[in-house]
A and B are shown apart, each in its own frame.
Chain A
């Protein structure tokens, strides 16, 4: 039974992973991430790639919404900006290690513009302002033919490094997974800095934060910029992953998907982001797998059970919100406490 961590220095107190057990588990996780594509089949690797992209995008939204309290319904638009930026540069021969930050930076610029009203409005009003951005940006995607390919969309050349093309999911995994890990670590680090703590202060009470000397506009714009940067990078990876993209992908539905992911996972937590993205990505796959399993013995089951699986997925989300409003993160914490305190009750 573990009863706590003894921290003897500020450095230890500030460390990202303070215990040896945590570091050991992270080592195991890193090894598992490296080994995964060698042991998994193509479908599982493609799911892992999508999961990585969703985790990055959801992390961006969690920085904006979960940590800073700025509700955004335009996250899909930021992703789209990243995707089209990467496509535009990639078509001109710019390598992926340059297109990814460029995509993020372009989305971040847009994020800052969209974030401007956040000084005057917040809550639902800000949500509506970002909703307007969602529609405006998608309109631009559809109309700006010379850059976005209009409604027909764009082709994205394969990402390549020194002539080595990332032309399948297994190779893409080794681009997506490290980027996802790096961005998650960066996000976790962010909240040990003055900037990250300012975000949290703004979320908890913006007037108090201002009294404490936090420049609201600067930090709110920073939150929008960082969150949009993440979305832009996720969008660029999405473009490289699918190698073709149309504006119809970046719908409001996608923005809501990410909002649902961070709520189900746990607002204001990177682990919650991962859990939420895993839930929103893998649970529908599992449910469909169940239907496919049943369809092996009853071929007509697919057409009857496919709508049911959507209902079940919806009910699961509602169930989590009702029975565990703090999200999957709280369940995870409870499970962890159970192990830590065993044989006593958590």
Chain B
């Protein structure tokens, strides 16, 4: 039998057949069992893969586990939660696609996205629909805007507020006649640039001089020229923002090698213990602002204890509960609190009702996840605490009390 008798490779047929099989499986009705009466769907498009996957898995687990835990406590006003999360890949097209898919199939009253870009793109549609309250891991200052982005909130302070908390700490701890000098190093991204005008304004108000401002690529490797600039500026503190890890360790290493005693500081996404552990020796003395307690800090924080216990039971392989998980859990708490307030008042879960319920949250006890009683009037929780890393214990320890911004 010659090759011309079978011009199509049987293997290729199998590949095509397998692909069609997968497509057929995908076409199965995905939501027929979901829309049971009484269930409340919590939709999500967390970035389980892609560049933000380091956080996305934890966010997904935290929000999903909160729904599971909440159901063991009777759900929200007697209604069970059903969490539906699909990977966004940290791509706007994919996140919007997941959003539209879950919105179309399940009509969730609450939805958790993956990024600033998603939040901005979805905002108009969400406003138009008027059915859904949204959140995401973005703390972009543009999004804490009850007027222009009415159905979005963030479970923490904006990046600008984080910068203000850092400056407030610097102001409170400064001694002597001369004011402490601060340098800002940020990535050339939307994330990196977001709080810079706010930080400058706050520094001006506190009369803290900004002696150097450096913009780098997000994962810049060679930072020697930037470190030379910092050496000349002699700042007491350097605030890094818009990074997760690189190039912060390289900056700190070179700063120390050149004899600088400057204190490096960061914001939320470079404050997880696993991230700071990865800095190695450069992590010693690293400081930064955290809106939540760390999972090992359970004293006088019953919710942190619940998180720790639930994660230990549900995820025995998880040796440490990352801040991303805590963030996801807190988002679930806020979603539930908002929906519970609406349902208990006999109001349907509409965007307007949920917005009103969200803005009614004031002096709310999060069980210690946030150190202060939380207020969501401004669609953010504008408080945090400064932590410092101890390389010996490999723990981030509180360096200040809880600080609230205006």
Expressed in whole angstroms, the Cα–Cα distance for A248 and B190 within the complex equals: 8
- Take A151-B190, A303-B57 as given contacts and tell me if A41 and B104 are in contact as well, using a CB distance cutoff of 8 Å: yes
Interface mask (B48-91 → A, CB under 8 Å = 1, otherwise 0): 11000100010011001000000000000000000111110100
Q: What residues of A have a CB within 8 angstroms of the CB of B1 in the complex?
A: none
In this assembly, does A152 line the interface, its C-beta being within 8 Å of a C-beta of chain B? yes
In this assembly, does B3 line the interface, its C-beta being within 8 Å of a C-beta of chain A? no
- Take A286-B26, A302-B48 as given contacts and tell me if A244 and B12 are in contact as well, using a CB distance cutoff of 8 Å: no
In this assembly, does B250 line the interface, its C-beta being within 8 Å of a C-beta of chain A? no
In this assembly, does A164 line the interface, its C-beta being within 8 Å of a C-beta of chain B? no
In this assembly, does B19 line the interface, its C-beta being within 8 Å of a C-beta of chain A? yes
In this assembly, does A216 line the interface, its C-beta being within 8 Å of a C-beta of chain B? no
Contact B19 A43 (CB under 8 A): no
Contact B8 A334 (CB under 8 A): yes
Q: What residues of A have a CB within 8 angstroms of the CB of B9 in the complex?
A: 323
Contact A319 B28 (CB under 8 A): no
Contact A43 B12 (CB under 8 A): no
Contact B190 A47 (CB under 8 A): no
Expressed in whole angstroms, the Cα–Cα distance for A306 and B45 within the complex equals: 12
In this assembly, does A160 line the interface, its C-beta being within 8 Å of a C-beta of chain B? no
Interface mask (B92-129 → A, CB under 8 Å = 1, otherwise 0): 11101110110111000000000011001101110010
Expressed in whole angstroms, the Cα–Cα distance for A248 and B105 within the complex equals: 29
Q: Which of A142, A244, A285, A293 has the most CB of B within 10 A?
A: A244
Chain B: interface residue total (CB-CB under 8 A): 55
Q: What residues of A have a CB within 8 angstroms of the CB of B85 in the complex?
A: 302
CB-contact partner of B83 in A41, A287, A291, A299, under 8 A: A299
In this assembly, does A316 line the interface, its C-beta being within 8 Å of a C-beta of chain B? yes
Interface mask (A170-206 → B, CB under 8 Å = 1, otherwise 0): 0000000000000000000000000000000000000
- Take A303-B57, A316-B19 as given contacts and tell me if A293 and B117 are in contact as well, using a CB distance cutoff of 8 Å: no
In this assembly, does A326 line the interface, its C-beta being within 8 Å of a C-beta of chain B? no
Q: Which of A42, A47, A50, A303 has the most CB of B within 10 A?
A: A303
Distance in Å: Cβ of A323 to nearest Cβ of chain B? 5
Total A-B Cβ pairs within 8 A: 120
Expressed in whole angstroms, the Cα–Cα distance for A299 and B81 within the complex equals: 13
Expressed in whole angstroms, the Cα–Cα distance for A292 and B218 within the complex equals: 32
Interface mask (A40-56 → B, CB under 8 Å = 1, otherwise 0): 01110011001000000
In this assembly, does A346 line the interface, its C-beta being within 8 Å of a C-beta of chain B? yes
Contact B117 A246 (CB under 8 A): yes
Contact A323 B30 (CB under 8 A): no
In this assembly, does B15 line the interface, its C-beta being within 8 Å of a C-beta of chain A? yes
Contact B193 A151 (CB under 8 A): yes
In this assembly, does B22 line the interface, its C-beta being within 8 Å of a C-beta of chain A? yes
Interface mask (A207-226 → B, CB under 8 Å = 1, otherwise 0): 00000000000000000000
Tell me the dominant secondary structure on chain A's binding face.
Answer: helix
Q: What residues of B have a CB within 8 angstroms of the CB of A47 in the complex?
A: 97
Contact A307 B117 (CB under 8 A): no
Q: What residues of A have a CB within 8 angstroms of the CB of B26 in the complex?
A: 285-290, 292-293
- A residues sitting closer than 8 Å to B (CB atoms) are 41-43, 46-47, 50, 142, 150-153, 155, 167-169, 242-249, 283-293, 296, 299, 302-303, 306-307, 309-310, 316, 319, 323-324, 331, 334, 345-346
- B residues sitting closer than 8 Å to A (CB atoms) are 5, 7-9, 11-12, 15-16, 19, 22-23, 25-28, 30, 33, 48-49, 53, 57, 60-61, 64, 83-87, 89, 92-94, 96-98, 100-101, 103-105, 116-117, 120-121, 123-125, 128, 142, 188-190, 193-194
| Extra 13 A-B pairs, beta carbons < 8 Å, given A168-B128, A242-B92, A303-B61 | A150-B193, A151-B190, A244-B120, A284-B94, A290-B25, A293-B26, A293-B28, A303-B60, A306-B49, A306-B87, A323-B11, A345-B5, A345-B7
Sorted nearest first, the 6 A-B pairs with minimum C-beta distance are A289-B26, A306-B87, A151-B190, A42-B104, A306-B48, A43-B101
What are 17 A-B pairs with beta-carbon distances under 8 A? A43-B103, A43-B105, A151-B190, A153-B117, A248-B190, A285-B97, A286-B23, A288-B26, A292-B86, A302-B87, A306-B49, A306-B87, A310-B89, A323-B11, A334-B7, A334-B8, A346-B7
